[in-house]
Structure 1
Amino acid sequence: MDKPIEEMAFEEALRELEQVVGRLESGDASLDESIALYERGDRLRRRCGERLDQAQARIEAIRLDAEGRPAGVKPFAAA
């Protein structure tokens, strides 16, 4: 749990977030440890959200011209 969150890939951050949630749900952590876990979990959650937003921005839809040939790309529009 010591790796800087900013350097984590999505999968790493999600895995650690799951561990943090599990630890918090177990009720075995002291109050101070629970607060620290919650704070790190919040930062991990934000990191995962940022990575998902970046991935979505990279998804592109191919536009076709009147003859069905690729004519360029347009940004993905989430429904």
Structure 2
Amino acid sequence: MDKFNELVSTQMQTMEKLLYLQSELERCQEIEKQLDALKQSAELEELRLEIDRKKQDLQEIHRMFEKQTEDVIHTYQQLAVTLL
């Protein structure tokens, strides 16, 4: 049961990172729209690079979260079998 609780806790931390990064990405995209409207190309290019990095980070965390979900399910299934 301890391993299961630890996996769930780790997964919750990953979810927090995922949500934070998603909100940061949305914030950057809003700024991108504003800069584009102002035609500030230098700042816009830098921001677009940051958006690309955040998208890559988001994909990485998403993959990690999926793996953690699989681990949680597997551990729960093992725990259920041992309790029967």
Question: How would you bin the TM-score normalised by the shorter chain?
Answer: 0.5 to 0.7
Bigger helix fraction: 2
Equivalent position of 2:58 in the other structure: 48
Q: Which residue of 2 aligns with 1:12?
A: 20
Q: Name segments (4+ residues, structure 1) moved above 4 Å.
A: none
Unaligned runs of 5+ in 1: 1-8, 73-79
For 1:29 and 1:17, the matched residues in 2 are separated by 20
The answer to which structure, 1 or 2, has the higher relative contact order (CA under 8 A, 6+ apart) is: 2
Give the structure with the larger strand fraction.
1
Structure 2 unaligned residues grouped into runs of 5+: 1-16
Aligned residues: 60
- TM norm structure 2: 0.58
- What code does the residue aligned with 2:58 have? C
TM-score by length of 1: 0.61
Residue correspondence of structure 1 range 57-76 to structure 2 within 5 A? 57-60=67-70, 61=73, 62-63=76-77, 70-71=80-81
- Counterpart pick for 2:29 among 21, 24, 41: 21
Provide the alpha-carbon RMSD of the alignment: 2.3
Q: Percent identity?
A: 15
